[in-house]
Amino acid sequence: MKNFKILNHPTDLKVKSWGQDLPILFANLVDGMFYGVTEKLGQGKEKINFEIEGAPDNETLLVNFLNAIWVLGFGKNSAIGQIKFNKFGLDGIAGEGKLLSVSAWKAEVKAATFYNLKIKRTKDGFETTVVFDI
Protein backbone atom coordinates (compact mmCIF):
# COMPACT_ATOMS: atom_id res chain seq x y z
CA MET A 1 0.00 0.00 0.00
CA LYS A 2 1.35 3.41 -0.98
CA ASN A 3 1.40 5.99 1.79
CA PHE A 4 1.63 8.89 -0.60
CA LYS A 5 -0.43 10.43 -3.36
CA ILE A 6 0.78 12.27 -6.45
CA LEU A 7 -1.31 15.44 -6.75
CA ASN A 8 -1.97 17.48 -9.87
CA HIS A 9 0.36 20.41 -10.43
CA PRO A 10 0.74 22.33 -13.70
CA THR A 11 4.54 22.30 -13.80
CA ASP A 12 6.07 20.51 -10.82
CA LEU A 13 5.78 17.27 -8.86
CA LYS A 14 3.44 17.54 -5.85
CA VAL A 15 3.37 14.69 -3.32
CA LYS A 16 1.09 14.35 -0.31
CA SER A 17 2.10 11.80 2.30
CA TRP A 18 1.30 10.65 5.80
CA GLY A 19 2.81 8.45 8.48
CA GLN A 20 2.30 7.48 12.08
CA ASP A 21 5.55 9.22 13.04
CA LEU A 22 8.06 11.57 11.41
CA PRO A 23 10.53 8.88 10.27
CA ILE A 24 7.73 7.04 8.46
CA LEU A 25 6.46 10.30 6.95
CA PHE A 26 9.96 11.14 5.67
CA ALA A 27 10.46 7.65 4.22
CA ASN A 28 7.05 7.75 2.51
CA LEU A 29 7.94 11.06 0.87
CA VAL A 30 11.12 9.51 -0.54
CA ASP A 31 8.93 6.80 -2.08
CA GLY A 32 6.58 9.44 -3.49
CA MET A 33 9.43 11.55 -4.89
CA PHE A 34 11.05 8.66 -6.76
CA TYR A 35 7.71 7.15 -7.83
CA GLY A 36 6.69 10.53 -9.24
CA VAL A 37 9.63 10.58 -11.64
CA THR A 38 10.08 6.85 -12.33
CA GLU A 39 6.76 5.11 -11.55
CA LYS A 40 8.91 2.62 -9.60
CA LEU A 41 9.63 2.18 -5.91
CA GLY A 42 13.19 1.57 -4.70
CA GLN A 43 12.99 -2.12 -3.83
CA GLY A 44 16.41 -3.26 -4.94
CA LYS A 45 19.08 -5.21 -3.08
CA GLU A 46 22.06 -2.82 -3.12
CA LYS A 47 22.27 -0.71 0.03
CA ILE A 48 23.25 2.91 0.31
CA ASN A 49 24.05 4.72 3.54
CA PHE A 50 23.25 8.36 4.18
CA GLU A 51 23.89 11.01 6.80
CA ILE A 52 22.13 14.40 6.82
CA GLU A 53 23.12 17.31 9.07
CA GLY A 54 20.66 18.72 11.59
CA ALA A 55 18.25 21.57 11.04
CA PRO A 56 16.39 24.18 13.10
CA ASP A 57 12.95 22.67 12.43
CA ASN A 58 11.28 19.60 10.92
CA GLU A 59 10.36 21.30 7.63
CA THR A 60 13.98 22.31 6.98
CA LEU A 61 15.14 18.84 8.02
CA LEU A 62 12.66 17.31 5.55
CA VAL A 63 13.74 19.50 2.63
CA ASN A 64 17.44 18.88 3.35
CA PHE A 65 16.78 15.14 3.65
CA LEU A 66 14.78 14.87 0.41
CA ASN A 67 17.32 16.88 -1.56
CA ALA A 68 20.24 14.80 -0.26
CA ILE A 69 18.45 11.50 -0.96
CA TRP A 70 17.59 12.67 -4.48
CA VAL A 71 21.24 13.49 -5.22
CA LEU A 72 22.37 10.11 -3.88
CA GLY A 73 19.82 8.16 -5.91
CA PHE A 74 20.01 10.11 -9.15
CA GLY A 75 23.82 10.03 -8.99
CA LYS A 76 23.65 6.23 -8.98
CA ASN A 77 20.86 6.19 -11.62
CA SER A 78 18.63 4.54 -9.02
CA ALA A 79 15.47 5.09 -7.02
CA ILE A 80 16.01 4.78 -3.28
CA GLY A 81 13.46 3.06 -1.06
CA GLN A 82 12.99 0.92 1.99
CA ILE A 83 14.50 3.67 4.14
CA LYS A 84 15.60 2.62 7.63
CA PHE A 85 16.84 5.17 10.14
CA ASN A 86 19.36 4.48 12.87
CA LYS A 87 19.37 8.15 13.91
CA PHE A 88 16.50 10.60 13.44
CA GLY A 89 16.04 14.06 14.91
CA LEU A 90 16.71 17.76 14.57
CA ASP A 91 20.36 17.06 15.36
CA GLY A 92 20.60 15.00 12.15
CA ILE A 93 19.53 11.90 10.29
CA ALA A 94 21.45 8.74 9.45
CA GLY A 95 20.35 5.46 7.97
CA GLU A 96 20.24 3.32 4.86
CA GLY A 97 18.06 2.63 1.85
CA LYS A 98 17.95 0.19 -1.03
CA LEU A 99 18.70 1.10 -4.63
CA LEU A 100 16.66 0.11 -7.67
CA SER A 101 18.30 0.83 -11.03
CA VAL A 102 16.27 3.16 -13.22
CA SER A 103 16.48 2.94 -17.01
CA ALA A 104 14.26 5.94 -17.80
CA TRP A 105 13.37 9.05 -15.82
CA LYS A 106 10.12 10.90 -16.57
CA ALA A 107 11.62 14.04 -15.02
CA GLU A 108 14.56 15.20 -12.94
CA VAL A 109 13.99 16.75 -9.52
CA LYS A 110 15.82 20.06 -9.16
CA ALA A 111 14.89 20.43 -5.49
CA ALA A 112 12.29 19.83 -2.82
CA THR A 113 10.85 23.25 -2.01
CA PHE A 114 9.44 25.07 0.99
CA TYR A 115 6.38 26.17 -1.01
CA ASN A 116 3.40 25.96 1.41
CA LEU A 117 5.32 23.31 3.37
CA LYS A 118 3.92 22.57 6.81
CA ILE A 119 4.15 19.24 8.62
CA LYS A 120 0.81 18.77 10.38
CA ARG A 121 0.00 16.55 13.31
CA THR A 122 -3.17 14.51 12.76
CA LYS A 123 -5.11 12.03 14.88
CA ASP A 124 -3.23 9.25 13.03
CA GLY A 125 0.26 10.79 13.10
CA PHE A 126 1.63 13.34 10.63
CA GLU A 127 0.98 14.51 7.07
CA THR A 128 2.39 17.03 4.66
CA THR A 129 2.52 17.98 1.00
CA VAL A 130 5.82 18.70 -0.74
CA VAL A 131 6.25 20.44 -4.08
CA PHE A 132 9.35 19.35 -5.99
CA ASP A 133 10.77 21.70 -8.61
CA ILE A 134 11.32 19.61 -11.75
- What is this structure's pTM? 0.95
pLDDT of residue 45: 86
> What are the average pLDDT values for consecutive 10-residue runs of the chain, which has 134 residues?
89 97 98 94 88 97 98 95 96 96 93 97 97 97
List the domains of the chain with CATH numbers. Answer: 4-133 (3.55.10.10)
Nearest-angstrom CA–CA distance, 128 and 122: 10
pLDDT of residue 1: 56
pLDDT of residue 35: 95
pLDDT of residue 93: 98
Q: SS3 for 18-87, per residue?
A: EECCHHHHHHHHHHHHHHHHHCCCCCCCEEEEEEEECCCCHHHHHHHHHHHHHHHHHHCCEEEEEEEEEE
